[in-house]
Amino acid sequence: MDLRRIMETVNMIDNENLDLRTTTMGISLLDCIDSDSDRACQKIYDKITTKAENLVKVARELETEYGIPIANKRITVTPISLIAAASGDSDYVKYAITLDKAAKAVGVDLIGGFSALVHKGYQNGDRVLIKSIPQALKETERVCSSVNVGSTRSGINMDAVKEMGQIVIENEKINPLNNGNLVIFCNAVEDNPFMAGGFHGVGESDVALNVGVSGPGVVKTALEKVKGESMDVVAETIKQTAFKVTRMGQLVGQEASKRLGVDFGIVDLSLAPTPAQGDSVANILEEIGLESVGTHGTTAALAMLNDAVKKGGIMACSHVGGLSGAFIPESEDAGMIAAAEKGILTVDKLEAMTAVCSVGLDMIAVPGDTPAETISAMIADEAAIGMINNKTTAVRVIPVPGKDVGDTIEFGGLFGYAPIMPVHKESSAAMINRGGRIPAPVHSFKN
């Protein structure tokens, strides 16, 4: 039995695109706060380069020893708006540059935490950080930024929603690809190992190692063996597959934590696709029985997939966290790209799907002349879905200058490419310009 299971895992790795998507070290920077921003930045650099000095080395050792590919090595830090607020600086670009230098020094792919949490209102550090985002992303290579604009308990900060639409347009003018490193959240979680939305929450330990597992190809292959069976069988097959994949993530995460001498945080079992053939969430939904993702039945199939993944994962690991479920990025999934190019998959359908998946409108390319208020309205819609359903939702939208529906944009690497998707032409400006807050729903009073 043990030999059979070992061979199953080997086959998943060799033929079904199974990998650990990321080992992400979360580092608290609360002890780096200083009224002198130069001293604060030096403390930040020193702490990151000390705590994460061996992160990449250990990850590579485990890749070799276990034969499990680890696609990315990443770091998250305490939201910089909290750390930099004591300085009184008028912009926080130097903090982003410090993060970038530290990330390069230790050899990680990305570092997240140039972030602000403004779901109920702004403090001064939040305002400064948000205004710094375009320049910060322009001057760095590995820094990721996120802003949380709403929550189930507090409602939606519509002033922040309006401002983030404007920030997306500012990024577009500098370099539209910079919006790939910016996520706008509702109900952001503190232990998310995935980018661009990862940050290390204030409730986390000083240093923790979180693991993000993927494997859409593994799930699709398992479903190929139960063609024509009932949905009960489909759900059970996904659960059993998720169990195996999560076990692998826990094994690597615990061993990495032990070798690094840090706390083991969580395993995030999120089916995160790539442009590689056979590594697509859309293909899983089509294997369930849809002619194309985006057609009627897509939301139901995705709901079942997401729930079964969570059920299988939580039985396999004592510390499941992050987002855990299924991502549906337009650009990173070959099946999603194909459906969008045919016009079967639309922004409206993607929005409906976000009510039951892990996050939200992810890596959506839209025409370059899309107004800031329309971007803000898309953010508001997603935040409302997250607020009402008590789940994390997010927007990572990329207006592309000079491009219109029918064109494409190439991102490269894990991001792949994306067809430009149509958005509604009718204006939402009057609503967005009202500002204020959308009150929290009644069920936020649960305690």
Look at residue 7 in the predicted model and tell me its pLDDT: 45
Question: Would you state the structure tokens that stand for residue 414, as one six-digit string?
Answer: 């894990």
Pairing of strands 393-400, 182-186: antiparallel
pTM over 0.75: yes
- Residue 182, Cβ density class (10 Å: 0-12 exposed, 13-18 middle, ≥19 buried): buried
The span from the CA of 256 to the CA of 258, in Å, is: 5
State residue 4 phi and psi, 5-degree precision: -60, -45
Question: Would you state the structure tokens that stand for residue 282, as one six-digit string?
Answer: 């859309």
The span from the CA of 411 to the CA of 238, in Å, is: 31
* pLDDT tens, N- to C-terminus, the chain (447 residues): 344 554 455 555 544 456 678 889 999 999 999 999 999 999 999 999 999 999 999 988 888 887 788 888 999 999 999 999 999 899 999 999 999 999 999 999 999 999 999 999 999 999 999 999 999 999 999 999 999 999 999 999 999 999 999 999 999 999 988 998 999 999 998 988 888 888 998 989 999 999 888 777 788 888 888 898 999 999 999 888 888 888 788 888 888 889 999 999 888 877 777 666 667 888 888 889 989 988 999 999 999 988 888 888 877 777 777 777 777 777 777 888 888 888 888 888 888 888 888 778 888 889 989 999 999 999 999 999 999 988 889 999 999 998 888 888 887 666 677 888 899 999 999 999 999 999 988 865 555
State residue 10 phi and psi, 5-degree precision: -60, -45
Look at residue 360 in the predicted model and tell me its pLDDT: 82
Largest CA distance in the chain: 65
Look at residue 1 in the predicted model and tell me its pLDDT: 39
Helical spans, DSSP H, in 29-184: 37-51, 55-66, 80-84, 93-106, 124-138, 158-174
State residue 73 phi and psi, 5-degree precision: -115, 125
Distances in Å between the alpha carbon of 186 and those of 94, 155, 202, 330, 380? Answer: 27, 9, 17, 20, 9
3-state secondary structure of 183: strand
Residues 414 and 357 sit within 8 Å (Cβ to Cβ)? no
The span from the CA of 355 to the CA of 300, in Å, is: 11
Report the candidate in 203, 201, 196, 213 with the shortest Cα–Cα distance to residue 394.
Answer: 196
Residues 41 and 91 sit within 8 Å (Cβ to Cβ)? no
Counting Cα atoms < 13 Å in the Cβ hemisphere of 283 gives 25
Look at residue 148 in the predicted model and tell me its pLDDT: 96
DSSP 407: B
DSSP 291: S
The span from the CA of 78 to the CA of 187, in Å, is: 16
